[in-house]
Every structure is written in structure tokens, then in C-alpha cells.
Amino acid sequence: MTTTDVRARTAATPRPDRLDRLDRLDRLVQDVREAVRQGLPGERTADLVAQRLAPHLGAGDLLTEEQREGSTDHYRQHVLHVEADGSFSVVALVWLPGQRTSVHDHVSWCVTGVHEGREHERRYRLTGEGAAARLAATEDVVNEQGDVCGFAPPGDIHRVWNGGAGKAVSLHIYGADIGRLGSSVRRVYEPPADER
């Protein structure tokens, strides 16, 4: 990052903290763009994007205070970037204690990284076929600040929640245009009977 002479700044020049945030987010977007442009299969793209996201997690200059704001009604989504061609989107999700998603899968590959706090995740697989298909929990994971994971359909069914006492913030990068779609969720599943 280049430094700016404070005396040369005009009133229209953004504050230094805003410049840092723009620079950090711009660097993240460029890193993701380079990975996505390789045109690899979804699972490999998710792996590359996860590697690019990891160094940015926890950085104080990545999100503004507004982008870290939650909602008492439901976890809150802040769209940070949608690539012009719709090939990927960067989103911050803010979770207050107890907030969770439905059990769902995704329209595309996805990478998540915990920026602040801790997220709990339960992963599932479908057993059986057709009307006899049922969800079976396969793994419970606690993702700490700095943890990153990537996945691609099929095999991407999960539920995420904030099981801690404080706010959690995570960065999600999807191989889809979230500005147009509104969400990365492809399908919502009825949880197993013992989880209702």
C-alpha cells in the first residue's frame, strides 16, 4: 500500500482507515479472481480460494463496523463483492448467539472462513433414494477464528450456527452471483427427527 501525505489530502479523500479496508478487500477479491479464472472443477477451485482467503481472516482492516453489524431477527448477510461476470461473490455473515441456518446445500462451490468468534457446523449425507432418502449427520465441527473450509456439490449439506456467547463473523465466497440470487442455498432439508 502506498502512503499518502496527510498535508496533500483534500476533504474528498477517504480517511486512512477506509483506504486500508478498501485495499484489503481489493486484495482479497484479486486473490480470489486469480483462483477462479483458472477454470478448474468446483472442488479444486474451492481449495484454491480457501488458500487465498485464509491470510485475510481476522485482519482488522477487512470489514467496516457496518459490515460487522448483526440483526436480532436472523443471522445477517452483507454482500461485499459480486464479480462483474457473476463468477463469484464475497459475503460477510454476522451471527449473534444462537442464530443458525436451516439444513441446506448450495448452488455452487463455497468457501467459508471464520473472521471473528466461532461457528459450529453439522455436516450431513443423504442415505437412500427418492421418497426413502433421509439425512444422516456425519460430522460436527467447531470452526475457530482463522479456520477455513471449502466444498462443492454434491456432498455439501450442512447447518451452521453460533453456539458461543458472543458475535461471530464469517466470510463466505461462493461461485455464484449472490447479488442476483440473494442466497447460495439451493435446497433446504427437513432435519432428522432427533434434531427438530
pLDDT in the model for residue 7: 26
Percent of the chain with pLDDT over 90: 72
pTM for this one?
Answer: 0.83
Rg for the chain (alpha carbons), in Å? 18
Give the β-pairing of 76-82 and 185-189.
Answer: unpaired
pLDDT of residue 21: 52
**Cell 443458525 identifies what position?**
100
Q: Given this model, what pLDDT does residue 157 score? A: 93
Question: DSSP characters for 81-130?
Answer: EE-TTSS-EEEEEEE-TT-BPPEEEESS-EEEEEEESEEEEEEEEEESSG
Tell me if 180 sits within 8 A of 86, measured CB to CB.
yes
Residue 175 has pLDDT above 60, yes or no: yes
Summarize pLDDT for 77-113 with one digit per residue, the tens. 999 999 999 999 999 999 999 999 999 999 999 999 9
134 in Cβ contact with 193 (< 8 Å): no
Sign for the CA dihedral angle at 162, 27, 59, 5 comes to negative
The answer to whether the Cα torsion of 160, 184, 57, 97 is positive or negative is: negative
Rounded to whole angstroms, how far apart are CA atoms 98 and 85? 36
Average pLDDT of the chain is 87
- pLDDT tens digits, residue range 117-166? 999 999 999 888 877 788 999 999 999 999 999 988 888 899 999 999 99
